[in-house]
Structure 1
């Protein structure tokens, strides 16, 4: 029995290590110099009750150092002053184009419907998406992202992080979870199997959008305008990643734990609609992370080869720490790395409670 339990533990450790060795593909990757095509770009921002954020963050888009771009701002049936703010900016800068979406009974509170109208309004075929509460971290954000539209590339995955609040443990937890998600989707994309992107920083062509009839295959699902679209539209040949620091955007994180959990419930509920192969590999990664700790504790309590067990833990933490540190260095998130064993453990069991909660009550609206 002791040998069997130890063997199980070694196998679980091995699977965890394999995944993190796979993540080396992103963690150790270097940005390649690209010939910049300087294609005209339509930046698309969907806003629902975002008046204050529009005031704060639209200037950072308008100040981008890029020769030809427009900003399509979509007022998604807001009940605050969002439309007024958009119109104020439009009077100042003609590059702003407004799409005013009124509630439609068939598409009530559906961001995909609003985005579709915005995409149809766009003058240029190269589309760059972000959110109303996001700010590029460089005046070269558009340039960095759009430079990846090389021949044959229709989708560019970017990193959308969150603003840092040094004294907030919740802030570090949110940013660590965002880092882990980015490590996964960047690594999968580099290995030729892209499965998701984030709407806070994502680019694709309208040509690819119309080829798939937009969001038609998942229009009935409230969330997923970013990851479900990428999951369907992305291939090894037409997708690339952009993780240069100039290409990073940051947005306002949730201020309370309950608000963040509500957001995560919505995100997790979408994953079951991914392609089967992606569901499988993501599930295996999660299950073996989940199994590691109870088997580890059981072996220690039963005093079964404790030195071997602790050596495996040390190896696992060393490999994971290396990946997290290298990835965090690329994405400017190094201050969250030192707590990764605790955050990782907490997120594993938090996700389990979210899975169970989603079986009882499913999120419905994007806002």
Structure 2
């Protein structure tokens, strides 16, 4: 009787996974690409950096080489202790399109990236804003053009893809990129069905009016992270949000090089997600717990060889539809190589996530300093 109940439970969580992968994530995975129309609207590209001197030297020139007629580059130095501010000042002297915003430590907003970004947004002279980070670079000279081409009168928020640089023979790099692929497939899929809930600040665009419509970051200013996902969670709707995932629109940054650094990064992301809207917290939790439950139920039933042919069939079917859904998404986001490891990476991430939840119960993660 107990094993029969477990078998029914396995079928139920497999069905939940089917709904997610085929009908929600599948809206992105299997959907036809939608090309935007070039707008040539004036754009303020905003980069907030803190102690990013080495990256700034490499990446700011790439931003200034963008093939776009009218844009300014708003460089925000958030109280850096290295040469970041000096480098920004040099760029400002050399190019009239560069505007430097200097942020000094403020007792009320000590080390708060949202405060620095607010000053940068207010300083931007154009209505359309495009964001990336100091450690990122665009994949092409058409990055601005691609991202802004998806703006319309109704669509005033554009979610982009922030990829990580591929590192040959690095298993951790592949794990990080697989997680990034899964996360993007989720937020693109939900956006496609009219339920946008997050974005990444490495590649995000919106009109300035959207920022002021929700009073900027004021409602979550005390949450140290979330300048991207918490803002989108609050401001994005089915009517004002769209996505952009053409290869020319990607940005790239360097992934964490050690498991400890990556684990701490995940802790920050999870601690931020608890501030999402109730429905978003529910759908994310349901997806994760259906993954965990499916794995545990399958292991128990197969270990006791209860109706093992049926159980094996459910397991194989589940991995086939999940593989297809993520595989098509990986093709669109140029991450096909991580799919060869799909079952192993998924299992590893499930238990890593569980470890993150438990760790966060006993201590708070470190944020932007």
- What TM-score comes out, normalization by structure 1 length? 0.98
User: Equivalences for 1:33-112 in 2 at 5 Å?
Assistant: 33-112=35-114
Whether contact under 8 Å (1:222, 1:364) holds in the other structure is: no
The gaps in structure 2 that reach 5 residues or longer are none
CA–CA separation in structure 1 for the residues paired with 2:292 and 2:38:
44
CA–CA separation in structure 2 for the residues paired with 1:84 and 1:281:
45
Match of 1:145 in 2: 147
- Comparing 130-139 and 89-98, the one that deviates more: 89-98
Match of 1:249 in 2: 251
1:365 CA displacement: 2.5
The match for 2:305 among 303, 326, 349 is 303
Match of 1:350 in 2: 352
Whether contact under 8 Å (2:46, 2:73) holds in the other structure is: yes
CA–CA separation in structure 2 for the residues paired with 1:181 and 1:79:
33
Match of 2:274 in 1: 272
- What TM-score comes out, normalization by structure 2 length? 0.98
Specify the SS of the correspondent of 1:38. coil
2:47 is the alignment partner of 1:26: no
The match for 2:324 among 306, 309, 322 is 322
Whether contact under 8 Å (2:36, 2:146) holds in the other structure is: no
* Count of aligned pairs between the two proteins: 367
Whether contact under 8 Å (1:70, 1:96) holds in the other structure is: yes
CA–CA separation in structure 1 for the residues paired with 2:120 and 2:36:
29
1:241 CA displacement: 0.4
Match of 2:204 in 1: 202
Match of 1:10 in 2: 11
CA–CA separation in structure 1 for the residues paired with 2:86 and 2:353:
40
Specify the SS of the correspondent of 1:273. coil
The match for 2:126 among 120, 124, 127 is 124
CA–CA separation in structure 1 for the residues paired with 2:335 and 2:198:
21
Q: Deviations over 1:112-138 (max 9, x none)?
A: 000000001101010000001101111
Match of 2:229 in 1: 227
The gaps in structure 1 that reach 5 residues or longer are none
CA–CA separation in structure 2 for the residues paired with 1:4 and 1:268:
32
1:364 CA displacement: 4.2
1:36 CA displacement: 2.1
Specify the SS of the correspondent of 1:44. strand
Q: Deviations over 1:125-170 (max 9, x none)?
A: 1000000110111111000000111111111000001000011000
Specify the SS of the correspondent of 1:135. strand
- Comparing 57-66 and 88-97, the one that deviates more: 88-97
CA–CA separation in structure 2 for the residues paired with 1:360 and 1:275:
24
CA–CA separation in structure 2 for the residues paired with 1:34 and 1:137:
17
Whether contact under 8 Å (2:264, 2:366) holds in the other structure is: no
1:183 CA displacement: 0.3
1:91 CA displacement: 2.1
CA–CA separation in structure 1 for the residues paired with 2:32 and 2:97:
34
